[in-house]
Amino acid sequence: MPELKAALDAAYNLPDSLHSCSNFVWHVIQAFVPDQPYMVANDLVKFLARSNDWEEVDRTDSRKMADLAKAGALVVGGREDTPNGHVLVVYPGDVKESGGYAYVSQGKTLMLRSHGIYARSMSRSLGSWAGAKSDGDKTVWDAWAGPKFDKVRFWVLKASKPAK
């Protein structure tokens, strides 16, 4: 298995990853599963949910997700939506407070408060939301930053899990 942090860093800076969550996640998965085909976010979420090679991780257990990533396991999270969902990867590191970055609301620049402690994320996005652009400085909550997070699901690639 490749080293997770190296795979993330390599995928994060590929030209077609810069503005695409699904391209970024695809490149990371390919480092572990070379024949993984490209899928848009909605299709990838469906694929992960039915694949026997992936195992669901409890969304509310950020510490477990962080521990898995710190041990080198590949954990992917995502949610389907219309027209496009979003996918990201859990970044290896300690859990942290969410928020702490600027955003604009009705012409006013505000700082997002913490809404809890979560695993760190690595994420790219076509959109402008700062919480969805993370190289480990945001959390898995920050991309959705609200009630939509409650339907985000996470899966760990079984072959990347540390031996017990």
Partner 1 sequence: MGTACASHPTPPFKTLSPAQCAPPSQAGYHLALATDWNTYKPYVRACPLGGSGKAPAKLWLLTVFAQSYLDDHPGQTNWPNFPRPQLVGADGRCLARLPELFPFDEPRTLRLQYGPLVEGMPGEIRVHVSNPAVDGDYELPVLRWMPTQHKYVAQNNTGEYTREDMTCPN
Binding flag, residue 92, partner 1 (CB under 8 A): no
Query: Which tokens hold the place of 158?
Result: 């079984």
Binding flag, residue 97, partner 1 (CB under 8 A): yes
Binding flag, residue 148, partner 1 (CB under 8 A): yes
Binding flag, residue 129, partner 1 (CB under 8 A): yes
From 77, 85, 92, 136, residue interacting with partner 1 (rule: CB under 8 A): 85
Q: Least distance (Å) from partner 1 to the CB of residue 92?
A: 22
**Nearest Cα residue to 5 out of 64, 88, 76, 90:** 90
Binding flag, residue 19, partner 1 (CB under 8 A): no
CA–CA gap between residue 148 and residue 161 (Å, rounded): 28
Binding flag, residue 18, partner 1 (CB under 8 A): no
| 71 backbone dihedrals φ, ψ, rounded to 5° | -85, 0
From 6, 51, 114, 158, residue interacting with partner 1 (rule: CB under 8 A): 114
The DSSP secondary structure of 5-68, one letter per residue, reads HHHHHHHHTSGGGTT-HHHHHHHHHHHHSTTPPP--HHHHHHHHHH-TTEEEE-TT-HHHHHHH
From 5, 46, 115, 161, residue interacting with partner 1 (rule: CB under 8 A): 115
CA–CA gap between residue 91 and residue 81 (Å, rounded): 23
List residues binding partner 1 (CB under 8 A). Answer: 79, 81, 84-86, 97, 99-100, 103-106, 110, 112-115, 125, 127-129, 131-132, 142-148, 150-151
